[in-house]
Amino acid sequence: MRPMSTVLFAGTIISSLLMHVGAAEAAAETVIYSFCAQQNCSDGSEPAAGVIAVDNTLYGTTYSGGTGTDCSEYDDGCGTVFSLDPGTGAEAVLHSVGGAADGTHPGTDLFDIGGKLYGTTGIGGYYSAGTAFSVDRRTGREAVLLSFGCCSDGLYPSGGLVGHKGVLYGTVQEGGAYGRGTVFSLDPKTGGLTVLYAFCSQQNCPDGAYPLQLIDAEGTLYGMTQGGGAFNSGTIFSLDPDTGAETVLYSFCSQQNCTDGSYPVSGLIDVKGTLYGTTGGGGQYNGGTVFSLSLNTHTETVLHAFDFNGTDGWYPLGGVIDVKGTLYGTTYYGGSGNCYSGDRIGCGTVFAVALKSGTESIFYSFQNTGDGANPAANLIDVKGTLYSTSEGGGQYGGGTVFSITP
């Protein structure tokens, strides 16, 4: 089970917060592949990250499984990079992670540039603090671009890599000049790293601490931090990749009882000048939120607050995507399924939130009956079909890649 992670403008909460659960479940889920189908899970296990679609093929990573063995703290494999045909369900391991400098346990989304998949491992590598790597999606050849942990470049990559004008950008969760993570740029040709910004440069970290996944929106990088900010509950920030100038756009928990959300857990998306994302805590019902932030006014609005004790899901770890004016996402816990011996934690859900009304609808509740359990990643939209992964469940208990059509 994945553990829960631990300034300028006040947020507002619209009436949709009171619109608890919308329509009943209305979509069918299809398991495309169940991991751990092979002996010793050599096909991979526990896909903590999502998938990307390139040329009608899905690509992703698993946190464990594979044939790599140089990860002594685990005995279930060091992880994989895999491909999957969504039509036939045929899965192939492109690379099994594990080796002296290879890195172990990839847990972030991949990024494709010119036939190469770029990603990060959270630990392992030469300094045991994670790596940035590439895998040729045609040959499966892997190259370690950088091992984190040297000097002040930071420790433990916390998000995937995003490309802009031939340069890769990413974050590390810890380390850097002030010990609370960095935003970095990486030259994929040379492996040269530049720290663009080190968090917690001021007392009590009002600039944020422990950054998450970045996005590139018209040449500006946007992201969130899990901690720090004016109220020590996380931030939304922007960063100029040319100058390294960081600006805190919003600090969470600015309202009593953190009804505006607290402790972000996902990446952001940009829809016509408005950012959307999720928090793992806070909200009116203390189960996390889906929120928006206007880039014009820096006003934060809670679109939906999840209920820790309800059936609409809670802990929306994977963030949201926009499909024709509706936000789709997953919750790691909650829903109508029962994964934990009689308690009410639930196996997770796929949900939708209407942008105009804020009404949330549960499209699917995972049951852990072969359909998967505990989705931890974002969804992607491929021609009207949504794809993602569940970290657990499936036919063999090693997680799944699934599709769902609204």
Let me know: does 217 contact 273? Beta carbons within 8 Å. no
CA 205/CA 193 separation, integer angstroms:
24
11, 23, 31, 3: which is closest to 373 by C-alpha?
31
Which of 60-75 are b and which e, b meaning 16 or more Cβ less than 10 Å from the residue's Cβ?
bbbbbbbbbeebeeee
The encoded tokens of residue 211 equal 């950054």
For the chain, give every domain's residue range. Answer: 41-147
Let me know: does 65 contact 43? Beta carbons within 8 Å. yes
The encoded tokens of residue 148 equal 């984190």
pLDDT at 10: 30
* Residues whose CB falls within 8 Å of the CB of residue 257, separated by 6 or more in sequence, listed in order: 282
Higher pLDDT pick, 10 / 141: 141
Identify the DSSP state of 40: G
Let me know: does 65 contact 36? Beta carbons within 8 Å. yes
Which of 212-228 are b and which e, b meaning 16 or more Cβ less than 10 Å from the residue's Cβ?
bbbbebeebbbbbbbbb
pLDDT at 341: 59
From residue 245, how far is each of 207, 217, 242, 385 by CA, in Å? 11, 16, 8, 38
> Is the pLDDT at 291 greater than 80, yes or no?
yes
Cα angle for residues 58, 354, 338 (degrees, 5° grid):
65
Span of 342-351, 371-380, 387-396 with lowest mean pLDDT: 342-351
- Tokens 């999606």 locate to 137
pTM of the model as a whole: 0.92
Let me know: does 253 contact 11? Beta carbons within 8 Å. no
pLDDT band at residue 381 under the 50/70/90 scheme? very high
pLDDT band at residue 69 under the 50/70/90 scheme? confident
> Is the pLDDT at 179 greater than 50, yes or no?
yes
The encoded tokens of residue 40 equal 């010793």
Tell me: the pLDDT tens digits for 13-66? 222 333 333 444 557 899 999 999 999 999 999 999 999 999 999 999 999 999
- What residue type is 196 in one-letter code? L
The encoded tokens of residue 234 equal 């996380």
Instruction: Give, rounded to a whole angstrom, the gap between the first and last alpha carbons of the chain.
Output: 28
CA 218/CA 97 separation, integer angstroms:
34
- What residue type is 60 in one-letter code? G
pLDDT at 305: 96
> Is the pLDDT at 150 greater than 90, yes or no?
no
Higher pLDDT pick, 100 / 166: 166
pLDDT band at residue 342 under the 50/70/90 scheme? low
pLDDT at 72: 58
Average pLDDT score over the chain: 90
Residue 241: Cβ within 10 Å count: 20
From residue 352, how far is each of 71, 240, 265 by CA, in Å? 38, 32, 18
CA 257/CA 254 separation, integer angstroms:
9
The encoded tokens of residue 394 equal 């499936």
pLDDT at 35: 98
